[in-house]
């Protein structure tokens, strides 16, 4: 097996594959792998195309590749490999090891971790996918290396911390001499909608047709509207999206289960927008926010004169949602008495306003949400069993963000761009140090926490500069010093317990040692700048942070010494 001896990382040289065949297992980068017959996978690819169409198959395979690339990049980082040159050497080598292609650079890859700029141009020799397409389907009218393209996008996006798109400009499957791919940041791509296809929910959840019944064999229609903010490529996200698609064409009640902050209301809105009720209203109510004595009035409405202050009749949420969707968030917070009346409304499809006698028919789809275990609430007597079974027709569990690591880079990019636009504050990107901090965070507050962190980061960041780690303030223990340096509670404790006299003596001794062999202040400054660069691997932004300077200040001082103008 060929090894790249220029890379000084023993784990990849010695432990590329962990052989546990005695247990029926093999591993690569700590992940269990399967050796499959290429012909069998090619046959599966062909069956997908014949059954669900080329476009949908391409999206599915591209997403699979994206997930593989993301996971490989994350595994390499967990192994302690963070230098960009090594990461961008290992990625192609891993895919070669797996037998997909042989990578040959047309031009040297260009990347800048400070600005997030990236550019690549590669030839893919011996592409398995293009050969499979030719053998099974003949010459293609579009590029055929879907798994490889997705892998390159996922891997590079995870390494760079911003969406990077690889586009196949030539393909053997189309009759070209070889396969060729070119990479750019997503925002610089010419046909951005095409590249976003495999990352967005609307591309694989399509709006059902207006007929009351859809034959099982009828292909899904193309989406009519875009669902903003719904991005993801992870397996967990795809599973939720698939269930949304299945239930969207029906009128069945849906129960969304997930931790606080996972985006249950956003998924409910997505379900509504792809359903036959999309033209009707979407009414949301947070059951936990309604006082117990007003729950019935909010849900079912009030008749004029029903109680003091009811000077006019008012429709409830059920009436307002007629013909559409009623989203009941935190449904477990409803009082037991209100649960009984809600059950009747669901069973009879009719409501009666508080203080009224008229029966009002309603046509409402219920989407309920809970962040607690409803079965335990039933067992404890806090939630009615009959209501639970009524709303639990089609449960969908929304995964927490810590299980959707493939999606974090996409969400970061989405939120930062959105808040920068809202605040009219240009932000050039996010540093790798900050991006890695976001990747490694456990996200107890889920997507909502990530969204808040990104908003706060945009507020704190300087215009026309990168978001850096000091702008994140993820943990409560983080505070900012007067010069915007991040301090932890440990830093504060250490600074407060150190003896001032001891600090002065150490500092004085260090100064005496420095001054003994240096003739001028400019020389001292130059040595400090060079030391900061050396300590941080030549990275100007990191060196500037090390000295508590802005990048511009550091560059000014560095250029001053390089030009010799130190007077």
Q: What is the pLDDT at residue 530?
A: 83
Between the CA of residue 382 and those of 286, 328, 379, 385, what are the distances in Å? 18, 17, 8, 9
β-pairing, 25-28 with 31-33? Answer: antiparallel
Q: What is the pLDDT at residue 219?
A: 30
When pLDDT is cut at 50, 70 and 90, the band that residue 17 belongs to is low
Q: What is the largest CA-CA distance in the chain?
A: 97
- Helix%, strand%, coil% for the chain, nearest 5: 50, 15, 35
Is the pLDDT reported for residue 10 higher than 70? no
d(CA 92, CA 156): 11
* Best CA proximity match to 386, nearest among 346, 329, 352, 359: 346
E-assigned strands of 453-558? 465-467, 479-480, 486-487
Work out the percent of the chain whose per-residue pLDDT is above 90. Answer: 27
CA 235 distance to own-chain centroid: 12
Q: What is the pLDDT at residue 474?
A: 64
d(CA 475, CA 155): 28
Is the pLDDT reported for residue 320 higher than 90? yes
Q: What is the pLDDT at residue 509?
A: 56
When pLDDT is cut at 50, 70 and 90, the band that residue 409 belongs to is confident
Q: What is the pLDDT at residue 395?
A: 95
Provide the angle, in degrees to the nearest 10, between the axes of the packed helices 405-422 and 54-78: 100
For 235-246, what is each residue's pLDDT tens digit? 788 888 888 988
pTM: 0.62
Q: What is the pLDDT at residue 181?
A: 93
d(CA 229, CA 207): 17
Q: What is the pLDDT at residue 191?
A: 67
When pLDDT is cut at 50, 70 and 90, the band that residue 222 belongs to is very low
Contact 171, 203 (CB under 8 A): no
**pLDDT average, residue stretch 421-428:** 88
Mean per-residue pLDDT over the chain, rounded: 79
For 304-314, what is each residue's pLDDT tens digit? 755 556 567 78
- Both structure tokens of 244: 């949304």
Range in 10-24, 126-140, 173-187 with the lowest mean pLDDT:
10-24
Is the pLDDT reported for residue 567 higher than 70? no
- What are the chain's domains? 10-203 (3.30.1380.20), 235-397 (3.40.50.300), 401-497 (1.10.8.60), 500-563 (1.10.10)
Q: Is 227 left (phi over 0), alpha (psi -120 to 50) or beta?
A: beta
Contact 200, 238 (CB under 8 A): no
Contact 446, 263 (CB under 8 A): yes
Distant-in-sequence, close-in-space partners of 209: CB < 8 Å, separation ≥ 6: 221
Q: What is the pLDDT at residue 205?
A: 35
Highest mean pLDDT: which range of 9-18, 19-28, 169-178: 169-178
* Best CA proximity match to 210, nearest among 197, 224, 193: 224
For 462-507, what is each residue's pLDDT tens digit? 888 888 888 887 654 444 444 444 444 444 444 444 444 444 444 5
Is the pLDDT reported for residue 512 higher than 70? no
E-assigned strands of 281-390? 282-286, 301-302, 314-315, 325-329, 350-351, 360-361, 365-370
Contact 223, 206 (CB under 8 A): yes
**pLDDT average, residue stretch 508-528:** 67
Q: What is the pLDDT at residue 202?
A: 39
- Buried b vs exposed e over 23-40: b needs ≥16 C-beta within 10 Å? eeeeebbeeeeeeeeeee
Distant-in-sequence, close-in-space partners of 409: CB < 8 Å, separation ≥ 6: 70, 157, 158, 161, 162, 163, 435, 439
The more confident residue out of 500 and 36 is 36
Q: What is the pLDDT at residue 434?
A: 83
């Amino acid at each position: 097996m060929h090894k790249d001896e220029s890379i000084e990382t023993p784990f990849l040289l010695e432990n590329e594959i962990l052989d546990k065949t005695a247990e029926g297992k093999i591993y690569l980068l700590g992940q269990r792998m399967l050796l499959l017959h290429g012909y069998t996978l090619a046959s599966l690819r062909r069956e997908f195309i014949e059954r669900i169409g080329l476009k949908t198959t391409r999206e599915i395979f591209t997403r699979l590749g994206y997930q593989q690339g993301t996971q490989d990049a994350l595994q390499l980082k967990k192994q302690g490999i963070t230098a960009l040159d090594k990461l961008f050497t290992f990625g192609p080598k891993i895919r070669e090891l797996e037998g997909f292609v042989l990578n040959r650079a047309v031009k040297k890859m260009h990347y800048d971790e400070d600005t997030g700029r990236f550019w690549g141009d590669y030839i893919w020799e011996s592409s398995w996918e293009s050969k499979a397409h030719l053998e099974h389907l003949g010459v293609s009218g579009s590029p055929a290396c879907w798994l490889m393209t997705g892998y390159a996008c996922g891997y590079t996006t995870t390494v760079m911390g911003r969406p990077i798109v690889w586009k196949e400009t030539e393909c053997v499957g189309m009759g070209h001499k070889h396969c060729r791919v070119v990479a750019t940041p997503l925002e610089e791509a010419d046909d951005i909608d095409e590249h976003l296809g495999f990352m967005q929910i609307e591309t694989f959840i399509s709006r059902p047709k207006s007929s009351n019944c859809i034959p099982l064999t009828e292909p899904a229609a193309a989406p009519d509207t875009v669902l903003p903010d719904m991005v993801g490529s992870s397996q967990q996200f795809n599973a939720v999206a698939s269930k949304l698609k299945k239930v969207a064409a029906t009128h069945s009640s849906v129960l969304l289960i997930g931790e606080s902050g996972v985006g249950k209301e956003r998924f409910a809105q997505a379900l509504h927008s792809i359903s036959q009720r999309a033209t009707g209203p979407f009414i949301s109510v947070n059951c936990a926010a309604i006082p117990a004595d007003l729950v019935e009035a909010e849900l079912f409405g009030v008749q004029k004169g029903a109680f003091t202050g009811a000077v006019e009749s008012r429709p409830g949420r059920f009436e307002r949602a007629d013909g559409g969707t009623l989203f009941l968030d935190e449904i477990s917070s409803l009082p037991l008495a209100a649960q009984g009346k809600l059950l009747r409304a669901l069973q009879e499809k009719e409501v009666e306003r508080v203080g009224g006698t008229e029966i009002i028919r309603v046509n409402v789809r219920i989407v309920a949400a809970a962040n607690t275990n409803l079965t335990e609430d039933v067992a404890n007597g806090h939630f009615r069993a009959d209501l639970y079974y009524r709303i639990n027709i089609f449960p969908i569990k929304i995964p927490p963000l810590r299980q959707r690591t493939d999606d974090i880079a996409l969400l970061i990019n989405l939120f930062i761009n959105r808040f920068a636009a809202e605040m009219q504050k240009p932000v050039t990107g996010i540093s790798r140090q900050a991006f890695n901090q976001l990747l490694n965070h456990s996200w107890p507050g889920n997507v909502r926490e990530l969204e808040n962190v990104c908003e706060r980061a945009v507020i704190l960041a300087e215009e026309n500069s990168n978001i850096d780690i000091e702008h994140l303030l993820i943990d409560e223990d983080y505070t900012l010093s007067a010069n915007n340096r991040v301090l932890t509670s440990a830093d504060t404790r250490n600074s407060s317990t150190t003896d001032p006299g001891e600090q002065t003596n150490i500092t004085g001794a260090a100064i005496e040692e420095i001054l003994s062999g240096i003739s001028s202040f400019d020389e001292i400054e130059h040595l400090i700048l060079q030391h900061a660069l050396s300590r941080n691997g030549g990275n100007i932004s990191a060196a500037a942070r090390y000295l508590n300077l802005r990048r511009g200040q550091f560059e000014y001082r560095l250029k001053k010494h390089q030009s010799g103008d130190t007077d």
